[in-house]
Amino acid sequence: MRNKPHPKSLAIIPAYNECEMIGTVISKIRTAAEDLEILVIDDGSTDKTAQCAKAVGAKVVRLSSNMGYGVALQTGFKYAYERGYDVLVQLDGDGQHDPAYIPDMLKVVVSGEADLVLGSRFLNKTAPDGSPMVQYKTGQARKLGILLFAFLTSKLIGFKVTDPTSGYQAFNKRVIAFFTRDFFPCDFPDADVLIMLHRAGFKIKEFPMLMSARENGKSMHSGIKPVYYVFKMFLSMLMTLLRKKPTLMD
């Protein structure tokens, strides 16, 4: 499986002002999975993100303005759905997500072990080679937020989830189709989406991995956004539970 992903597989990278890192991320994806097609969704960047991605051979869809993380992601899902991709992996354009895990994540999905694989910074204390896992460093407030939503998500879906805010995921074509529907969040799709997937009958599995701290650019959780995020996520999780149970799409 390594270096030979499913022939109809796509990597999508939502990106906003990531010109400095996007070329490196794309090159690392090609090293890990040379046959994987790559799509960058440029979310109205004011720098040269689109040009930097095209320069290293990635396909680019450019949004006319900054529409938000969820809209950028769903643009990629719709692109994949309309073109009949069987497997999709999503990762960020800032270099935090190591593309070396892509073949193993796709293997879990292609085997049918899970419909969605969620990369986790906190699942194991040791790396795959047995060495101590380097702890992911984050601010105290954000760490508490991750722990809170991990606890709530785990209680609501009935099994432990350690990293519900991870943007590093791989999933099959049924999940791709599910994510093209109108209820997909337009801003911060995280714990609420995992609850939606579980209620619809999809199988979710976490995958232990190392993630790097952000080196460049500005996090989407900077400024006052964390306050909005917490409020919005509580509301979205509540609405997800109150909404009629979604059905699988064949």
pLDDT in tens, 138-162: 666 667 878 888 999 999 999 999 9
Alpha helices in 158-246 (DSSP H): 173-179, 191-199, 225-242
Q: What is the pTM of this model?
A: 0.85
Confidence of residue 131 (pLDDT cuts 50, 70, 90): low
Residue pointed to by tokens 């994540």 = 105
Domain boundaries, the chain: 9-242
CATH 3.30.56.10 assigned to domain 9-242? The reply is: no
User: CA 32, CA 207: separation in Å to the nearest integer?
Assistant: 17
Confidence of residue 218 (pLDDT cuts 50, 70, 90): low
Lowest mean per-residue pLDDT among 3-7, 24-28, 144-148: 3-7
Q: Which of 88, 75, 86, 95 is nearest to 18 (CA)?
A: 95
User: CA 83, CA 128: separation in Å to the nearest integer?
Assistant: 35
Judged against a pLDDT cut of 50, whether residue 1 lies above it is answered with no
The predicted structure's pLDDT at residue 221: 47
pLDDT in tens, 101-125: 999 999 999 999 999 999 998 886 5
Task: Report the pLDDT averaged over residues 32-53.
Answer: 96
